[in-house]
Amino acid sequence: MSNEQNNQKRPNPRVLSGFRDFLPAQMRVRQHVTAILRGVFERFGYEPLDTPTLEAIEVLQGKIGQDEKLLYRFTDLGGREVGMRYDLTIPLARVVAMHANDLVLPFKRYHMGPVWRADRPQRGRFREFWQCDADVVGTKSVIADAEGVAIYNAALSGCGFTDYAIRVNHRAVLTALAPYAGLPETDAVTLIRAIDKLDKIGPEGVKDEMMAHGIPEKAAERVLELVGITGSNDTVLAKLNGLLAEIPAAQAGLDDLAHLFDYAAALGVPEGKAVFFPALARGLDYYTGPVYETYVPEGGVGSLGGGGRYDNLIGTLGGRDLPATGISVGLERLLVVMEERGMAGATESVTQALVAILPNDDPLPALQLATELRIGGIRAEVTLDPKRNLMQQFQYAERKGIPWIVIAGSNERAAGTVTIRHLAFRDDRTYPRDQAVSALNHLISEWNTHVEVNPQKP
Partner RNA sequence: GUGCCUCUAGCUCAAUCGGCAGAGCGCCGGCCUGUGGAGCCGGAUGUUACGGGUUCGAGCCCCGUGAGGCACCCCA
What is the contact surface with RNA in residues (CB under 7 A)?
A: 7, 14, 16-19, 65-67, 70, 87, 117-127, 129, 131, 193, 196-197, 200-201, 283, 293, 300-306, 328, 330, 332-333, 358, 361, 389-392, 394-395, 397-399, 407, 409-412, 419, 421, 423-424, 426, 428
Instruction: Quote the CA–CA distance of 257 and 278 in Å, as a whole number.
Output: 11
Choice between 110 and 394, CB closer to RNA: 394
Task: Find out whether 168 and 290 touch, Cβ atoms under 8 Å.
Answer: yes
Choice between 28 and 333, CB closer to RNA: 333
Choice between 207 and 333, CB closer to RNA: 333
Closest distance of CB 113 from RNA, Å: 13
Q: Helix, strand, coil % (nearest 5) of the chain?
A: 45, 20, 35
CA nearest to 87, candidates 46, 139, 124, 135: 135
Choice between 9 and 14, CB closer to RNA: 14
Closest distance of CB 365 from RNA, Å: 10
Task: Find out whether 400 and 24 touch, Cβ atoms under 8 Å.
Answer: no
Instruction: Quote the CA–CA distance of 312 and 170 in Å, as a whole number.
Output: 15
Choice between 27 and 245, CB closer to RNA: 27
Closest distance of CB 253 from RNA, Å: 20
Exposed / middle / buried, residue 241 (Cβ in 10 Å: 0-12, 13-18, 19+): middle
Task: Find out whether 128 and 116 touch, Cβ atoms under 8 Å.
Answer: yes
Instruction: Write the Ramachandran bin of 186: left for phi over 0, alpha for psi from -120 to 50, otherwise beta.
Output: alpha
Rounded to the nearest 10 degrees, what angle do helices 188-195 and 171-180 cross at?
110
Residues 6+ apart with CB under 8 A from 257: 168, 169, 170, 233, 237, 276, 290
Closest distance of CB 102 from RNA, Å: 27
Choice between 200 and 271, CB closer to RNA: 200
Instruction: Quote the CA–CA distance of 458 and 449 in Å, as a whole number.
Output: 15
Sequence letter at residue 453? V
Instruction: Write the Ramachandran bin of 359: left for phi over 0, alpha for psi from -120 to 50, otherwise beta.
Output: beta
Closest distance of CB 321 from RNA, Å: 22
Choice between 70 and 343, CB closer to RNA: 70
Instruction: Quote the CA–CA distance of 336 and 125 in Å, as a whole number.
Output: 10
Choice between 367 and 375, CB closer to RNA: 367
Quick one: CA dihedral 165, 166, 172, 174, positive or negative? positive
Closest distance of CB 431 from RNA, Å: 13
Closest distance of CB 54 from RNA, Å: 19
Closest distance of CB 420 from RNA, Å: 10
Choice between 170 and 237, CB closer to RNA: 170
Choice between 118 and 265, CB closer to RNA: 118
Instruction: Quote the CA–CA distance of 145 and 134 in Å, as a whole number.
Output: 11
Closest distance of CB 31 from RNA, Å: 18
Alpha carbon 445 to its chain centroid, in Å, reads 28
Closest distance of CB 69 from RNA, Å: 7
Where is 267: in which H helix or E strand? none
